[in-house]
Amino acid sequence: MNLSRGQRAKIADLVPNGQRFTLGVSVDAPGLIIDFACFGLDARGQLADERYMTFFNQPTSPCGGVALSVPSGDKAGFAIDLGRLPAGIERLTLTAAIDGAGTMSRIGRGHVRLMDGASEVGRFEFSGADFAEERALMLLEIYRKDGIWRTCALGQGFNGGLAALVAHFGGTVAPETPAPPPPEPPKPQPSPVNLSKITLDKRGNSVSLQKQANASHGEILINLKWRSLSGAKKGFLSGLMGSNRTDLDVGCLYELINGDKSAVQALGNTFGNYYGPPYIALDADDRTGSSSSGENLRINGQHWDEIKRVLVYAFIYEGAPNWAEAEALITLKTPGQPEIEVRLDSHRNDRPMCAIALLENQGGAVKITKLVDYHRGHLDMDQAHHWGLEWVRGSKD
C-alpha cells in the first residue's frame, strides 16, 4: 500500500497480527548526515519520559516496545511491538534530523516503509522537492484512536534540528553546564534529554566544536582505553599469540597550516611537543597494561589556529589484532564542550591499524569525523588519507 502525505490507515489492515512490525527508512542525501529517532508520546503528544526517545544513543525503550533494527535494504529502522507499550504511550512519531550543515531540500529520494517480517506492507515516499530550509522532519506517525492503532504519513518539516524536535515534543535538552534547579516549579516538567555527551555512532558522523567567546579551545585530550577480560588490562589477548601482553597504542598524523607533516606516536619514540610545533604530545607509552588511565594524546588548543588537520589512529604493536574483543574506546575532551566518544566497532577485522577520527580546522572550529577504517599498516593508512609521508620500519626499543 502506497501512502501519500496525510493519508491514514489502520495497522491491522496492513499487518495481520496488528502488533509487531518494523519501520524501515532510507534517504538518498549525498553529503548529509541524518539521524533518525522514534518518540513515544502521551495523549497530548508530549514526551513525558525521555527514556521513550529511541535513537542512536538510546537504542531501546524501557518496555522493549521500540528498538533500533534496520531491515535489509534500508539505512535505518525500528522494530515495533505495540503490545509492549505502556498505556500512557499513545503515539509513536518517526523523525529525521540533520547532523551538521545542510537542509532537507538536498534529499534526492526517501521512503518509510512498514515491514511485516520480510514483506513490505506499506510505503510513504518523499523527496527534497517537498521541503526547503527544513533541518528536521516528522516522517510517519503510529497512533492509537478509540483503542485501534493507526498510521499516518506526515512529511512535516522543522527549521531546527534534533533539539527543536525535542522541544516540540515538550522535552528539554540538558545544558552543558547544569543550571541550578528553579525554585518551586509550578508543575512537573518532563525529564531532560541529555545530549551533552556525544557518541559518534556511525562511520561518517561528525560534530563541530566552536571556540568559546574571546578564548582558545584549551587542551584537547584524546584518551584511548580498552577492555580486559583477564582482570589485567590488555592481558586477555595474550593466549592467542603466545605472548603475555598486548600493546595497544594511540597516535596521530598531523599537518600544520605551514605545510609541515609528520606523526606523533610511541613507535620510533616520536612523542611530539605540546608547547612548540606540532603542539601535539603523547604522554607516555603504556606497554605493560598497568596504567588505569590508558594512553593520552594531548593537543594544545591555544595553537589550534596553527594546525590544519589531525588523523587519530590506534594500532596493535604487539598481541592479537582483535578489535571486537578489545572494545577500544576513544574519548575526546575539551573544556566547556560536550565529551565526544568514538568506539572501534569492527567485529571480524584482523588488520592491526585503525584510523579512528579526523580532526579538521574549519574556520577555527574543530570538526571531528568518525572514520574507523582498518589498514595493514602506516603506509596503507597514509595512502588512504592522502598524507604523503615516507615510512620506514620502526621500533619502540
pLDDT tens column, 161-179? 777 777 788 776 555 444 4
Distance of alpha carbon 9 from alpha carbon 120, whole angstroms: 15
Query: What is the DSSP code (8-state) at residue 383?
Result: H
Q: Where are the domains positioned within the chain?
A: 2-169, 197-229+245-385
Residue 279 grid coordinates: 603542539
pTM score, whole prediction:
0.48
Question: CATH top-level class for 2-169?
Answer: mainly beta
Residue 77 has pLDDT above 50, yes or no: yes
- 2-169 and 197-229+245-385 agree in CATH topology: yes
Q: Return the top range by mean pLDDT from 155-159, 235-239, 337-341, 374-378.
A: 374-378
Percent of the chain residues topping a pLDDT of 90 = 37
Does 45 or 242 have the greater pLDDT score? 45
The mean-pLDDT minimum among 62-76, 201-215, 348-362, 367-381 falls in 201-215
pLDDT given for residue 169 in this prediction: 82
The CA distance from 350 to 69, in Å, is: 27
Measured CA to CA in angstroms, residue 358 lies from 22, 75, 368 at distances of 34, 23, 6
C-alpha cell at 42: 502521551
Check whether 190 has a pLDDT greater than 60: no
Residue 111 has pLDDT above 70, yes or no: yes
CATH architecture label of 197-229+245-385: Sandwich (2.60)
Note the pLDDT tens digit of each residue in 90-105. 999 999 988 888 888 8
Contact 313, 354 (CB under 8 A): yes
State the average pLDDT over residues 63-69.
Answer: 93
Quick check: 292 pLDDT over 70?
no
Q: How far is it, in rounded angstroms, from Cα 341 to Cα 372?
A: 12
Grid-cell match 577500544, residue found: 328
267-279: pLDDT as tens digits = 888 999 999 999 9
Grade residue 204 by pLDDT with cuts at 50, 70 and 90.
low
Cα-based distances in Å from 158 to 94, 137, 261, 384: 14, 6, 43, 38
Rounded Cα gap, residues 4 and 65, in angstroms: 26
pLDDT interval class at 239 (50, 70, 90): very low
User: Could you give the maximum distance between any two Cα atoms of the chain, in Å?
Assistant: 74
Give the mean model confidence (pLDDT) for residues 183-199. Answer: 50
Average pLDDT, rounded, for the chain: 80
Q: Regarding beta strands 197-199 and 339-343, do their DSSP bridges make them parallel or antiparallel, or are they unpaired?
A: parallel
